């Protein structure tokens, strides 16, 4: 989903700042964008409470899983299905990245969404059967600590909005409000939004500078926020595509998924497999919709169908046709 230029300018401004401004109980508060050091702290916090839970007699997930299987409450086949769905969705996501035609990507995304929903339901069923584990307890505590840790009273990040004791005394509706505020920031700073922002015209002057993150931000990489790292990472990716990919259609230059799919397609095809033209100069690509063809039509490397037919002795078999359409067969 694409937003206004003002939205993306605001997003990049917050990325550069390393924080977002929010409100809580009528006052401005500052939401820090976490970096690698912060992640290390939060991971250590998780491990501390996992160990504490185990010391208090709470079983770890592996032990509880073994117990519910022994009791016949959960089947090994269900675990195998979870792993299978996880692998399947990962592979489908990789496949989607290599698809150039929008209709193919949309159809595949529908399948991915169905698989993710099935996976979500299955994991929830297991969580209900397994019950409280040391990992679940630690996850809950570390999620609360992240919520407390990210909110500050000052721009120097010297004073958190709440101490640990103060946070522990907050009402459930106050916790919910903080979660909503933090969720709004993480939604705005999503990977998709960052990709779109980097491709906006206002950011084009920065693309070449993304090659050196230290010079770009003026600080050590270890101090960069996750969002700052993602911004320069995608800046480098797209700068490289524009440098080394010929004839990028204008209508996809601000669409990250289409741009990356086009670049991948260009790398994978030989010099003649961009598409097929018949004698009337009408392009034809197997499986393409009218919308797809509008995009493919901008590729100037299409092969003449009549020329290919002559070279093949007057007749093309299915494999030859598929090769012309860019399929490796």
Q: Are residues 251 and 200 part of one domain?
A: yes
Residue 35 lies in a domain: no
Confidence of residue 288 (pLDDT cuts 50, 70, 90): low
Residues 117 and 78 reside in one and the same domain: yes
Above 80 in pLDDT, residue 320? no
For the stretch 203-254, pLDDT in tens is 999 999 999 998 889 998 899 999 999 999 999 999 999 999 888 999 999 9
Answer yes or no: is 62 within a domain.
Answer: no
Global pTM reads 0.75
Q: What is the per-residue pLDDT for 267? A: 81
Domains identified in the chain, total number: 3
In a domain, 318, yes or no: yes
Q: Which of 256, 290, 306 delimits the end of a domain?
A: 256
Tell me how far apart the alpha carbons of residues 112 and 8 are, in angstroms, rounded to a whole number: 27
Assess whether 195 and 250 both reside in one domain. yes
Q: In what order do the strands lie in the sheet with 283-284?
A: 283-284, 276-277, 303-304
**Which domain does 226 fall in, by range?**
191-256
Question: What's the confidence (pLDDT) of residue 277?
Answer: 44
Residue 313 lies in a domain: yes
pLDDT of residue 85: 96
pLDDT at 274 over 70: no
User: Of the candidates 230, 256, 282, which is a domain's last residue?
Assistant: 256
Within a domain: 122: yes
**How does residue 287 score in pLDDT terms, banded at 50, 70 and 90?**
low
Helix ranges (DSSP H) in the chain: 5-17, 36-55, 61-70, 76-97, 102-130, 134-150, 164-168, 172-188, 191-198, 213-217, 226-244, 256-268, 290-296, 305-311, 318-324
Lowest-pLDDT range, 42-51, 55-64, 83-92, 291-300? 291-300
Q: Is residue 85 included in any domain, yes or no?
A: yes
């Amino acid at each position: 989903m694409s937003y206004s230029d003002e939205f993306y300018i605001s997003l990049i401004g917050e990325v550069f700042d390393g924080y977002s401004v929010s409100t809580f109980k009528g006052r401005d508060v500052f939401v820090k964008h976490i970096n690698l050091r912060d992640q290390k702290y939060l991971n250590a916090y998780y491990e501390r409470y996992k160990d504490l839970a185990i010391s208090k007699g709470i079983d770890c997930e592996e032990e509880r899983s073994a117990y519910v299987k022994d009791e016949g409450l959960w089947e090994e086949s269900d675990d195998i299905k979870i792993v299978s769905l996880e692998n399947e969705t990962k592979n489908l996501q990789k496949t989607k990245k290599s698809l150039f035609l929008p209709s193919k990507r949309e159809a595949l995304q529908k399948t991915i969404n169905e698989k993710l929903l099935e996976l979500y339901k299955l994991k929830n069923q297991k969580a209900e059967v397994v019950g409280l584990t040391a990992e679940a307890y630690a996850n809950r505590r570390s999620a609360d600590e992240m919520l407390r840790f990210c909110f500050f009273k000052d721009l120097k990040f010297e004073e958190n909005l709440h101490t640990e004791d103060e946070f522990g005394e907050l009402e459930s509706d106050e916790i919910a409000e903080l979660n909503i505020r933090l969720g709004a920031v993480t939604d705005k700073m999503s990977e998709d939004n960052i990709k779109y922002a980097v491709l906006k015209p206002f950011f084009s002057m920065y693309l070449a500078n993304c090659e050196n993150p230290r010079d770009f931000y003026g600080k050590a990489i270890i101090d960069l926020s996750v969002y700052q790292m993602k911004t320069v990472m995608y800046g480098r990716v797209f700068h490289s595509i524009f440098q080394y990919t010929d004839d990028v259609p204008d209508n996809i230059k601000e669409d990250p998924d289409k741009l990356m799919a086009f670049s991948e397609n260009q790398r994978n095809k030989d010099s003649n497999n961009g598409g097929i033209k018949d004698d009337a100069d009408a392009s034809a690509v197997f499986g393409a919709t009218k919308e797809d063809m509008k995009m493919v039509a901008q590729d100037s490397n299409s092969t003449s169908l009549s020329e290919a037919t002559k070279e093949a002795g007057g007749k093309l078999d299915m494999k030859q046709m598929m090769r012309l359409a860019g399929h490796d067969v």
